[in-house]
Amino acid sequence: MRSLGMFVIVVLIAVACAGIGVYYLIPGIPHILIFSISGNPNSYHLKHALVFFGLAVLALLGVRYVQPRPAEKMRTRPLTGAESKQGKNRAETDNT
C-alpha cells in the first residue's frame, strides 16, 4: 500500500503527536487529562509527553512503508525498438 495520500496522512499524524507531546511538557497550561491520577493539571506531564513522542517515532517509522516508490525503482523495463514495432503491428492487425 504505497500511495502519496497515505504518506501525507502518516506524516501529519507524526507531526500532530509530536505537537501534543510538546503541549504536555509546557507547565502552567491546564492540560486535558482523561485518565490522570495526579491531581494537578497545571504541571507538566512527562509520561504523557513520552507516550506521544513515542507515537510520533512509530509514525515516522511507518512512513517508510507507505512512501511511494520513485519512478526509477518501478519494476518495468523499457521497450526496445523491435518490441515496440511488434506491438504496433499487433495493434494494427487487431483493428482490421
Q: 32-79 pLDDT, tens per residue?
A: 665 556 556 666 678 888 999 999 999 999 988 887 777 666 666 665
Confidence of residue 24 (pLDDT cuts 50, 70, 90): confident
Q: How far is 48 from 68, CA to CA, in rounded Å?
A: 32
Separation between Cα atoms, residue 94 and residue 89, nearest integer Å: 9
- At residue 16 the predicted structure's pLDDT band, cuts being 50, 70 and 90, is very high
Average pLDDT of the chain, as a whole number? 76
d(CA 72, CA 67): 14
Q: For every residue of the chain, which 3-state class applies, written as one string?
A: CCCHHHHHHHHHHHHHHHHHHHHHHCCCCCCCCCCCCCCCCCCCCHHHHHHHHHHHHHHHHHHHHHCCCCHHHCCCCCCCHHHHHHHHHHHHHHHC
pTM: 0.62
The fraction of the chain above a pLDDT of 90, given in percent, is 25
Q: Is the pLDDT of residue 90 over 60?
A: no
pLDDT band at 25 (very low <50, low <70, confident <90, very high): confident
